[in-house]
Amino acid sequence: MLLDVRRVWVVQCRSTGHFLNLDLCLVRSLKNAGRAPDFECAIETGRLNLENDFEVVSFFEEIE
């Protein structure tokens, strides 16, 4: 059985390990992290909100 999945990107703060959520606040849980639709959007969001203190993480998640 094949699952419907999509690739997502999240922005993670290097110094704290926390993730940006949709309100651009830092949260501890990956479950509560905001998902960016593409790499460029994640990079721009990280630069605007965390300057150079961020990493972009990508993974696939099931579409509900």
Residue 51's pLDDT is what?
Answer: 95
- Partners of residue 45 on adjacent β-strands: none
pLDDT of residue 63: 87
Taking the complete model, does pTM exceed 0.75, yes or no? yes
- Residue with structure tokens 């460029």? 40
Residues of the chain with pLDDT under 50: none
Could you write out the three-class secondary structure of 12-59? Answer: EECCCCCEECCCCCEECCHHHCCCECCHHHHHHHHHHHHCCCEEEEEE
Distance CA 25, CA 51 (A): 14
